[in-house]
Each structure stands twice: as structure tokens, then as C-alpha cells.
Structure 1
Amino acid sequence: MLRERLGKGDRDHNMPRKVDHIGVAVHDVVDAARFYRDGLGLSVSEPEINPSERIKIILVSLDHTLIELMEPLEADTVVGKFLDTRGEGLHHICLKVDDVEEIVRSVVAHGAQLVDEQPRTDLHGRKLVFVHPKSANGVLVELVQDTEKDIEKSGK
């Protein structure tokens, strides 16, 4: 019912398909994961290091969406600075798109500011870009594109 009232917007091609994950900044991923695993009964991954972002990550699985718990390995990282100024909590939302370059052209044409000028790749080789919170009502929005291997596995 709500979706029908919202409508589809002015274009259908390359719109975000789903929420890929929700990023949560925490001081300790292992401690934070206990709430999701023990309190809520959700599956959690083993800790993983993202060397380029200098963070430790634990993924929490909820149906087809992940919660990405992020712990800075050093204080001068993006997540470390976020924790220093805002404390623990919601850091970003990530939306899955079919073509990062195309969606970048669209959001920039509509006045959005990007964190990076060019898309980069994540730990798993997926292309991604961040839209600056100033352009998205105070929310850091990550847009991510699956790799060809991911697309083949999903049967698209």
C-alpha cells in the first residue's frame, strides 16, 4: 500500500534495486556482534579486516540485507573520526545498483556531491561510490555494483 502511494519516480532504469547493507560504526565489532547474535538470534560472520579502509568488519545477516559493523583499526580513519565526533551508530546505507557509472552521472546531474570523484572497488572487487551526506539529507549513501561473478552466481 505504501509503495503504491509513493509511486516510481521519474525513471526506472538503473534505479537502486535493494538495500545491500547498513553500515554501523562501533568501538568493538566482537562486542557489538553479541547483541545481534545472542540478543536477536541473527547470524554473524567472523571478523574481517578491510586494509584499504583500515577497519575490522563483522557482517550480520538479516534476510537479504546485511548490517556491516565497522571498528576502526586506527583513530585517524574515516570510521575512527566518525566515532570521535558522533559516537557509535548509523554510519551509512548502501544501495545496490546495476551500473555505478550511470547512477553517478544521474545523481551528479541532479546536483549531488560525491565523496570521491571516481568509483573505487571494495574488498570483494565491487565498484562503489559514496554520495556526500550534504546531498542526501545528512545520510552518507554508498552505491555499489556487483561484480560479473556475483551476477553470474545470482542467475541474472
Structure 2
Amino acid sequence: MTVAFDHLGVATTDGADLAATFETLFDAPVVHEETFEGMAIRFLDLGGGYFELLEPADGGAIARFLDRQGPGVHHVALRTDDVAAALDRARNAGVDLVDEEPRPGAWGHEVAFLHPKSTGGVLVEYVEHAGEG
């Protein structure tokens, strides 16, 4: 099982505006957009990973996050070739899991989250890209 940086999830109230800013600042084009689980999602390619911009589309978890925390970093995602094995490793290490099993995520990927109380206050996502693993 391998693990490497994949993306940084950023909660925002205006994904289009932030995408334009990041494209200008970092030459990071939008390479994927979709609406998923109450969020408008944009992935911007940074070369060695992505910014994932998360904007509420109709309530949901990101709207609640923005109400509590305001805009900013939501999670860090680590790419793995086997989300289930990564979850088992975390479980065996005593880490509290948000997801007991992998589930469908944006862009057709399989994902699972680790609870921030076990990871230094950081919401960590494991992501297995579609067609891998």
C-alpha cells in the first residue's frame, strides 16, 4: 500500500472566484467540476496534486463547516492504491474513523475519512483514484 499527497480541500462561499484567483496566482487550471453531495466541487491541477474547492450547493456538510469555521482549509487528502487497506492500518493503530468502509467520492474515486481527534486536529481523507487499486 502506498500513500502520497493528493489534494487539499478548501471550503469557500464562491468557488468560481477562488478558482480564478488560484489559476492566476498558481497557474492552476480547473481540470474537473461536478456537483456532489450538496457541494459544487472544482479540482485545480497544481502539477503534483490538486486544490479541491468545496462550495455549498444546497446545504450539507460544507455549509455547516462554513457556518462554524468560515472559509479555509477543510481537509488534506492522501492518495492510496488501496483505501480499504489504509483504513485497516489506521484502525489497527487505534485511529478513530469517520468512515468504517470506503465510500464513493467526487470524481468517481473511493474515499474514507479519519477523525481529526486522532490526527492532530486535521481531517484526513484517503482517496483511491477511479480505476486504480
TM-score by length of 1: 0.78
Q: CA separation of 1:80/1:66 partners in 2, compared to 1, >3 Å: closer, same or farther?
A: same
Which residue of the other structure, out of 68, 76, 91, is the alignment partner of 1:85?
Answer: 68
Deviation at 1:43, TM superposition (A): 1.4
Q: Which residue number in structure 2 is paired with residue 154 of structure 1?
A: none
Once the two structures are superposed, what CA deviation does each residue of 1:119-153 show, in whole Å capped at 9, x if it has no partner?
101233322100011111000000012333x57xx
SS of equivalent residue, structure 1 residue 108? helix
Deviates more, 1:59-68 or 1:115-124: 115-124
2:50 counterpart of 1:66: yes
Which structure has more RCO (C-alpha within 8 Å, separation ≥ 6)? 2
Q: Which residue number in structure 1 is paired with residue 91 of structure 2?
A: 108
Q: Which residue number in structure 2 is paired with residue 19 of structure 1?
A: 5
Q: CA separation of 1:34/1:124 partners in 2, compared to 1, >3 Å: closer, same or farther?
A: closer
Which has the higher Rg, Structure 1 or Structure 2?
1
TM-score by length of 2: 0.90
Q: Is the 8 A contact 2:87 2:100 kept in 1?
A: no
Q: Structure 2 regions of 5+ residues with no counterpart?
A: none
For 1:42-57, what aligned pairs fall within 5 Å after superposition? 42-45=28-31, 47-50=33-36, 53-57=37-41
Measure the CA separation in 1 of the matches of 2:88 and 2:115.
15
Deviation at 1:46, TM superposition (A): 6.1
Once the two structures are superposed, what CA deviation does each residue of 1:35-69 show, in whole Å capped at 9, x if it has no partner?
1112333212464211xx21001111111201001
Once the two structures are superposed, what CA deviation does each residue of 1:65-121 show, in whole Å capped at 9, x if it has no partner?
01001101123x111111000000000011011211111111011111111222101
TM-align CA RMSD? 1.7
Measure the CA separation in 2 of the matches of 1:91 and 1:122.
15
Measure the CA separation in 2 of the matches of 1:68 and 1:134.
22
- What is the identity, as a one-letter code, of the residue corresponding to 2:16? V
Q: Percent identity?
A: 35
